[in-house]
Amino acid sequence: MNAPAVIDRQSEGDCAPVIKERGQREVFCGLTGIIWLHRKMQDAFFLVVGSRTCAHLLQSAAGVMIFAEPRFATAIMEERDLAGLADANEELDRIVDQLLARRPEIKSLFLVGSCPSEVIKLDLSKAAQRLGAKHAPHVRVLNYSGSGIETTFTEGEDACLASLVPEMPVLAAGAPANLVVVGSLPDIVEDQFRRLFAEMGIANVASLPERAVADLPGVGPNTCFLLAQPFLNETAHLLEKRGATRIDALFPFGVEGTSNWLHAAARAFAIDSDHVDRVLQPYQDRAHKALAHQRDRLAGKTIFFMPDSQLEIPLARFLANELGMVLTEVGTPYLHRTHLTQELAALPPGVQLSEGQDVDKQLDRVRAIRPDLTVCGLGLANPLEAEGLSTKWAIELVFSPIHGFDQAGDLAELFARPLRRRDVLRV
Amino acid sequence: MQLSVWTYEGPPHVGAMRVATGMKGIHYLLHSPQGDTYADLLFTMIERRGQRPPVTYTTFQARDLGKDTSQLFQDAALDVVERFAPDALLVGASCTAELIQDDPAGLVEKMGLPIPVIPLELPSYQRKEHWGAAETFYQIVRTLADKTRTPSDPATRRPLANLLGPTALGFRHRDDIIEVTGLLAKLGVDVNVVAPLGACAADVARLGEADFNIVMYPETGDLAADYLKREFGQPIVRTVPIGVGATQDFIREIADLAQLDPAPLLAEGLSRLSWWSRSVDSNYLTGKRVFIFGDGTHAVAAARVAHEELGFKVVGLGCYNREYARDVRAAAKKYGVEPLITDDHLAVEQAIADAQPELVLGTQMERHIAKRLGMPCAVISSPVHVQDFPARFSPHMGFEGANVLFDDWVHPLVMGLEEHLLTMFSDDFEFNDGAGPSHLGPHAGQNAASDPAIKPANDTETVWSEDAERELKKIPFFVRGKARKNTENFAAEHGVTTIELATLYEAKAHYAR
């Protein structure tokens, strides 16, 4: 649709020109975040208010998980719900009653907005207040939007966590300093980071989200927070509004990113950096060892990122700096410069960045470049393979443990495997 | 509103995608918000297609609402025509676009595009996937079928039929076409056009040249066949050839219509099901209680096979698509069961639990219900997952289809029997959990009584610290054994006697591949 506008970024002080495009986007909407968020928050239920399409999306994205009594569902709007808004609210109340009667163990209920509910302006924040009052104190009712018209894929997590920020307990100005790690991480990764912080000497550490929504960490002027994920713009903004201070760092992918992330936290807590170096040394050594296995396979290989999760830029930085991959184009659905300042500076010079998407035009560029590996969604992966281009499907990067020192090797392996497979197949 | 975790059918625009994706040279322009492209991966992943579906999404976002969504749509239409040069363009709206009241049909009409444009009205809040497919195919036929085409002189050729209904993402559609085409060829009937699957606009144009239409899948083909009957006077064959008896009926019906002799083909006895089912090994199948659920067509066909050809007792019969409820009610009456017409999987689960069948025939959903209830199950209908788009030839129609049904349905029962025997003998000295495989001798299982995942693999001095042991348990069970072994080997090599957390991760790094 619109021709790509190449913007000169030199004037803005960072490294490379950015292609800004709009057109057809081959991306998930924010509802998809529910698939991993409900695994993380064990006492929460996610009720999407939407259409059959929304239910179908969740079921397609959740695969077989849908059968293990998942803690999410869709209230599918029907013809009669569209007739009048009052009726829709009554219907929603009825559905929520039905749901909570079926699942009495639920402590928090997220009403999740969708495109249809946004377009007909069904006020879910009012509904959340109404239902929250009705079901207090057993169930806390919250709301956020995961609609495609407002959120792309991982932004659903941002919207969800942002809805939790006003619920966080107030810490007074005199309270001892605390650290909040923001972004849902697999439990095993979260535990590793907790141990590292303890070894470094930061004791007062919590996560947003915690495994139970009921255990929300406190926030106040002595709170510092570290983003574990690059897609948490709104959440960070709201935390800052509550007086917390964001610790600027690389994102914790690979040795470089994880070291920088932990050092930044240590600096904020005035911990001696020599001590941190001593603590991190053995972890760094073994991560380097694990990465060495993959470097031979990946060094010099070209890679193209299509936009998906906003993880693209930190991952590209890791692959280029620690594994010697050659970046062609790095696409991201949105480029939040503030949170990515250090990441952008750490990228090799001259990398082509792109923000947004016109998928057909972007595929033309992929075909022209013929990269060794293209990171893309499942709708594009097999068609590109059929054209002889190796791909790595992007969603796996959101579901797999990839942060931190001890996952660095696994993260590299995710990119090395498709290339190795291409080499072994003889059919 | 309806509370739903699982939906048997997607929205109607997914039905339209199934038609467009099955065809060649037809492009579908869908007015929809960002995110609706998720449906692409049904085709690229579940059906494993090597091309993107021929669908372009306008991808409007919140900031576009109320100003330029219609412009967005028109720009996208121009782009599609230029880039893909389709022979015809389908235009329609997804559920959200239906609410914002742009008029895709009107918008594109004004543009005067150089190709046929087929507007689709798919009411997302009333109808579902199958209806969307049927309506889309009907609109395509209505627009593209050339009314001047009629059958040539029947004296100069063999009878000619169209096969209607197969689509992309259809359960076994690919192989059913091959099987039915082969049967027709043996009978002396040629196939004029198969549509929508594999057809292009030109194929649809010459639908009128056939003598009659065969509706393979009523859910997707009925509307178009009715139209062709009205406009071209083509008779319709509605018998669905699933099972030996139904296939024979199908042959007779066509032979009658085309004035051919069915006797030689019927005498060939092309299905092994008849003998397999009569062989003494099948005796134990007699009166097995079977619960059947799926789309109306497959459910009714399966009930007949179960009842007449395998000697099962049908104890439940239902469908999720109300459009075919009448057929299911009639069949249920025949087998003396209460019909179950619902798209609520919880109601299906309850009915299955109440009926306590020995075999469940259903969709992917019933497979999981049966798994939870510990019942054998086979899949007979969409929705299905990736394993039901197999690489091997596996039709459900025709005589080879009957062979496939026999194997597919009996296999879980034999497996069920095996499992039952193993459970029955679970306290037996040879079969209990701790005994280990018998071929390893009487002492093989002595160490296996406690959790094998956290016990040392060999008789070294290595011990696991509590921390490391806890961490090991967080690793998924299917790789835990390997992680344990690697760590212990690593510890042995490095002279480590106590495995700490660090050792676990040292080993992980060491063995990283």
> What pLDDT is attached to residue A67?
65
pLDDT digits (tens, 9 = 90+) for A159-186: 999 999 999 999 999 999 999 999 999 9
Residues 90-119 of B with CB under 8 A from A: 94-96, 99-100
Which two tokens mark B381? Answer: 């209908």
The C-alpha atoms of residue A205 and residue A181 are separated, in whole angstroms, by 7
Q: Which residues of chain A have a CB within 8 Å of the CB of B501?
A: 195
B416 annotated as a binding-site residue: yes
- B467 catalytic per annotation: no
Residue ending a domain, among A258, A278, A298, is A278
Q: Are A111 and A138 found together in one domain? A: yes
Range of the domain at A137: 30-151
pLDDT digits (tens, 9 = 90+) for A302-346: 999 999 999 999 999 999 999 999 999 999 999 999 999 999 999
B37 and A25: CB-CB below 8 Å? Answer: yes
Nearest alpha carbon to residue B331 among B296, B363, B300, B355: B300
The CATH number that applies at residue A117 is 3.40.50.1980
Residue B437, pLDDT > 80, answer no
**End-to-end Cα spacing for chain A:** 40
Please report, as a single letter, which amino acid is at residue A79: E
> What pLDDT is attached to residue A4?
42
CA of B48: how far to CAs of B9, B17, B146, B388, in Å? 19, 15, 33, 11
Q: Are A145 and A248 found together in one domain? A: no
Residue B449, pLDDT > 60, answer no
Q: What is the mean pLDDT of chain A?
A: 93
Q: Are A216 and A307 found together in one domain? A: no
Please report, as a single letter, which amino acid is at residue A356: G
Taking each helix axis as running N to C, give the angle between helix A312-323 and helix A408-424, from 0 to 180 degrees, rounded to the nearest 10.
80
Kindly give the pairing relationship between strand A302-305 and strand A326-332. Answer: parallel
Residue A50, pLDDT > 60, answer yes
Residue to mutate among A21, A53, A93, with most B CBs inside 10 A, is A53
Residue ending a domain, among A151, A166, A197, is A151
Class of domain B12-127: alpha beta
Residues B128, B9: contact at Cβ < 8 Å?
A: yes
Alpha helical stretches, state H, B305-363: 325-335, 345-355
Do domains B160-268 and B273-411 share one topology? The answer is yes
Residues B147, B206: contact at Cβ < 8 Å?
A: no
Q: Are A116 and A190 found together in one domain? A: no
A29 annotated as a binding-site residue: yes
Q: Are A349 and A420 found together in one domain? A: yes
Q: Are A137 and A202 found together in one domain? A: no
pLDDT grade, residue B483 (50/70/90)?
confident
> What pLDDT is attached to residue A125?
96
> What pLDDT is attached to residue A108?
96
pLDDT grade, residue B66 (50/70/90)?
confident
Q: Are A37 and A136 found together in one domain? A: yes
A290 and B56: CB-CB below 8 Å? Answer: no
> What pLDDT is attached to residue B38?
95
> What pLDDT is attached to residue B472?
87
> What pLDDT is attached to residue B474?
77
Please report, as a single letter, which amino acid is at residue A15: C
- What share of chain B has pLDDT > 90, as a percent? 75
- The alpha-carbon gap from A411 to the nearest alpha carbon of chain B, in Å, equals 11
Which 3-state string (H, E, C) describes chain A?
CCCCEEECCHHHCCCCCEEEECCCCCCCEHHHHHHHHHHHCCCEEEEEEECHHHHHHHHHHHHHHHHCCCCEEEEECCHHHHHCHHHHHHHHHHHHHHHHHHCCCCCEEEEEECHHHHHCCCCHHHHHHHHHHHHCCCCEEEEEECCCCCCECCHHHHHHHHHHHHHCCECCCCCCCEEEEECCCCHHHHHHHHHHHHHHCCCCEEEECCCCHHHCCCECCCEEEEECCCCCHHHHHHHHHCCCEECCCCCCCHHHHHHHHHHHHHHHCCCCHHHHHHHHHHHHHHHHHHHHHHHHHHCCCEEEECCCCCCHHHHHHHHHHHHCCEEEEEEECCCCHHHHHHHHHHCCCCCEEEEECCHHHHHHHHHHHCCCEEEECHHHHHHHHHCCCCEEECCHHHHCCCCCHHHHHHHHHHHHHHHHHHHHCCC
Q: Are A420 and A297 found together in one domain? A: yes
Give the residue-averaged pLDDT of B481-498. 88
Helix (H, G, I), strand (E, B) or coil at B213: strand
Helix (H, G, I), strand (E, B) or coil at B119: strand
Give the residue-averaged pLDDT of A129-142. 95
- What share of chain A has pLDDT > 70, as a percent? 95
pLDDT digits (tens, 9 = 90+) for A342-385: 999 999 998 999 999 999 999 999 999 999 999 999 999 999 99
Fold for the domain defined by B160-268? Rossmann fold (3.40.50)
**Domain range annotation of chain B:** 12-127, 160-268, 273-411, 463-512
Question: What chain B residue is nearest to A381 in terms of C-alpha separation?
Answer: B44
Q: Indicate if ipTM > 0.85.
A: yes
> What pLDDT is attached to residue B298?
98
Residue ending a domain, among A219, A247, A278, is A278
Q: Is residue A348 reached through a cis peptide bond, with omega within 30 degrees of 0 on the bond before it? A: no
Pick B49's closest partner by Cβ from A31, A147, A382: A382
> What pLDDT is attached to residue B430?
53
> What pLDDT is attached to residue B109?
84
pLDDT grade, residue B476 (50/70/90)?
low
Nearest alpha carbon to residue B344 among A68, A104, A74, A105: A74
Residue A86, pLDDT > 80, answer no
Question: What chain B residue is nearest to A94 in terms of C-alpha separation?
Answer: B1
Residues A47, A95: contact at Cβ < 8 Å?
A: yes
- The phi and psi torsions of B318 (rounded to 5 degrees) equal -160, 170
Look at the block and give the residue holding tokens 């051919």.
B260
Residues B124, A52: contact at Cβ < 8 Å?
A: yes
Please report, as a single letter, which amino acid is at residue A9: R
Class of domain B463-512: mainly alpha
Give the residue-averaged pLDDT of B460-487. 81
pLDDT digits (tens, 9 = 90+) for A11-20: 444 555 799 9
The C-alpha atoms of residue B37 and residue A27 are separated, in whole angstroms, by 7
Which 3-state string (H, E, C) describes B55-90?
EEECCECHHHCCCCHHHHHHHHHHHHHHHHCCCEEE
Answer whether A57 touches B (CB < 8 Å). yes
- The alpha-carbon gap from B57 to the nearest alpha carbon of chain A, in Å, equals 6
Q: Is A368 exposed, middle or buried (0-12, 13-18, 19+ CB in 10 A)?
A: exposed
pLDDT digits (tens, 9 = 90+) for B205-234: 999 999 999 999 999 999 999 999 999 999
- Sequence-distant (≥ 6) Cβ neighbours of residue A27 within 8 angstroms: A152, A153, A307, A308, A333, A357, A377, B34, B35, B37
Q: Is residue A245 part of a domain?
A: yes
Residues A264, A181: contact at Cβ < 8 Å?
A: no
Answer whether A360 touches B (CB < 8 Å). yes
The C-alpha atoms of residue B481 and residue B476 are separated, in whole angstroms, by 9
> What pLDDT is attached to residue A85?
65
- The alpha-carbon gap from A176 to the nearest alpha carbon of chain B, in Å, equals 29
Residue B443, pLDDT > 60, answer no
pLDDT digits (tens, 9 = 90+) for B73-88: 899 999 999 999 999 9
Cβ pairs bridging A and B (under 8 Å): 216
Cα within 13 Å of Cα(B2), Cβ side: 19
Q: Are A364 and A412 found together in one domain? A: yes
Q: Is residue A165 part of a domain?
A: no
Pick the CATH number of B273-411 from 3.40.50.1980, 1.20.210.10, 3.40.50.300, 3.40.50.2300: 3.40.50.1980
Residue to mutate among B96, B98, B99, with most A CBs inside 10 A, is B96
The C-alpha atoms of residue B201 and residue B44 are separated, in whole angstroms, by 23
The C-alpha atoms of residue A43 and residue A61 are separated, in whole angstroms, by 21
In the set B261, B281, B451, B467, the catalytic residue is B281
B99 and A119: CB-CB below 8 Å? Answer: yes
Number of domains in chain A: 3
Q: Are A101 and A208 found together in one domain? A: no
